[in-house]
Chains A and B, each alone.
Chain A
């Protein structure tokens, strides 16, 4: 063979072996522990130096030459799809698939066989990948049994090629590459601090980084009397009030307020947190009302909002729709209050229930349980008396006119609330208008479907349908 054709063969070999696709599998069994510590989003969105874990894995996949990526989760999070979308921001094509908790890696490959038709890099489990953006990973899929395997207690990196068994990859002698376990909060802390202290140059990190060791996001307000000692990372929309002492070793997420006189050293403040005045945060991880010791993993929950609290963003309530609902509620109230009061006097069947509002707080409502027994009750149902009685809550802004069936303020209801992202309780509910029986699984499907597909006319239809089904 001539020199040219030899290099052509070699070139082909590299392209054959180079993974073109990446499959990132993160199962709840291995990442679920983080949900108990930091009740936030999907563990894959856990920030390391203000960058979600999954984004590091995505960056690495791109570095390896992958052009298509798929996330496979058994508990997929909306926040993941919201953040990554179709991948156009990174110039890679991203798709999503779900798996069942009982699926093995082989099952998952079967379920994604169309995707995995070319050599596929697989990152399986809940682990961090230590790599460098300045290195070359072309020879990643070569056989190198003398190097350590890229696997750890909670994850591994493999390659899938048609016709060959699934193979765990090995490290590279000349390029930095390792798989680090994420099994306790201390692991997340250590890795973040290590990146901040030593390896921040190896990754693409968010924030304005004009000076080594200092990363500052957008819309950051720092008071004149604040002392900042590097290395330090600040996210977006951060407020540092008077006389705060930040760093060394402070990683502050986005939407964080650090109040007067507080010091933050060798600590991580996760997004959406308020840190009160005159506090000393050292070697801690703070998320909303929870403080976790980086050394021992012990966590305490603060009950005093002025010390630590969350700056929570609940489901946004759209103003135009709310205004229209409010006006409708007024009209209903005005037209229906007199008959309603009359019926109330006749029936005398008021009960008090506590339900959960959209922000999780409890609300006591006086409800009227109307069965179809007596003629009076039937008439009351037709005149929507039980709904009219709840209108004052709509007028005061606590409930919506049309929305989800309210969850009761019981431990069971709280669990359902935690699992339902767009929960917006209303007095006319979708599943009721569809005459779906209470407690039926169809009810949960209908409520979730409704929440995800709200339209103005759909809301009106709910009211009309409730009325017509009662006739």
Chain B
């Protein structure tokens, strides 16, 4: 799975490209863990190019959001395209995720 990480001020933007599923959820968890360790607790996940997401990936998103929030940080979601948005809605995760339609406003919402 492709994951591009870049900084914008004190906010980290992680672009998840292609498919986000059980096999690649581990990579996601490691990346999030590293970011947390380094103190980068403001993260925006860019789903603009995500083609597919499965239930275990959704589960790992939930646990990472919870952990970041417990440590005074947050993970916000941007550009959930039509492949991903219905799945988030089906599993009722829109109730706890902050979802933006642009990466820039998601980033600026941290300040």
Interface residues of A (CB under 8 A from B): 74, 76, 81, 96-101, 110-115, 419, 434, 441-442, 444-446, 448-452
Can you name 19 A-B residue pairings with CB atoms under 8 Å? Answer: A96-B85, A97-B99, A98-B88, A98-B89, A98-B99, A100-B95, A100-B96, A110-B100, A111-B98, A113-B100, A114-B101, A114-B102, A434-B56, A445-B55, A445-B59, A445-B91, A449-B55, A449-B90, A452-B87
Contacting residues, chain B, for A445 (C-beta < 8 A)? 55, 58-59, 62, 91, 93
Cβ contact within 8 Å between B102 and A113: yes
With A110-B105, A449-B87, A449-B90 as contacts: A441 and B98 at CB distance below 8 Å: no
CB closest residue in chain A, given B85:
A96
B30 within 8 A of A: no
Cβ contact within 8 Å between A448 and B94: no
Partner of B91, one of A74, A99, A449: A449
| B residues contacting the other copy or chain, number (CB 8 A) | 27
Partner of B59, one of A74, A98, A110, A442: A442
Partner of A74, one of B56, B62, B87, B95: B95
Contacting residues, chain A, for B62 (C-beta < 8 A)? 441-442, 445
B92 within 8 A of A: yes
**Chain B 64-95 per-residue mask, 1 if CB under 8 angstroms from chain A, else 0:** 00000000000000000000011111111111
Contacting residues, chain A, for B91 (C-beta < 8 A)? 444-445, 448-449
Contacting residues, chain A, for B85 (C-beta < 8 A)? 96-98
CA distance A99 to B94 in the complex (A): 7
Known pairs A114-B101, A448-B90; list 15 more (Cβ under 8 Å): A96-B85, A98-B89, A100-B95, A100-B96, A111-B100, A113-B101, A114-B105, A445-B55, A445-B91, A445-B93, A446-B59, A449-B55, A449-B87, A449-B91, A450-B55
Contacting residues, chain B, for A419 (C-beta < 8 A)? 92
Secondary structure of the B contact surface, majority rule: helix
CB closest residue in chain B, given A116:
B101
With A76-B89, A100-B94, A113-B105 as contacts: A449 and B99 at CB distance below 8 Å: no
CA distance A76 to B65 in the complex (A): 21
Cβ contact within 8 Å between B90 and A452: yes
CA distance A115 to B91 in the complex (A): 25
CA distance A115 to B55 in the complex (A): 28
Cβ contact within 8 Å between A97 and B101: yes
Q: In angstroms, how far is the closest chain A Cβ from the Cβ of B78?
A: 9
CB closest residue in chain B, given A112:
B101
Contacting residues, chain A, for B89 (C-beta < 8 A)? 76, 98
B54 within 8 A of A: yes
CA distance A442 to B102 in the complex (A): 28
CA distance A95 to B109 in the complex (A): 22
CB closest residue in chain B, given A450:
B55
Cβ contact within 8 Å between B99 and A441: no
Partner of A111, one of B92, B104, B105: B105
Cβ contact within 8 Å between B94 and A111: no
CA distance A96 to B88 in the complex (A): 12
With A76-B89, A98-B94, A100-B96 as contacts: A446 and B55 at CB distance below 8 Å: yes
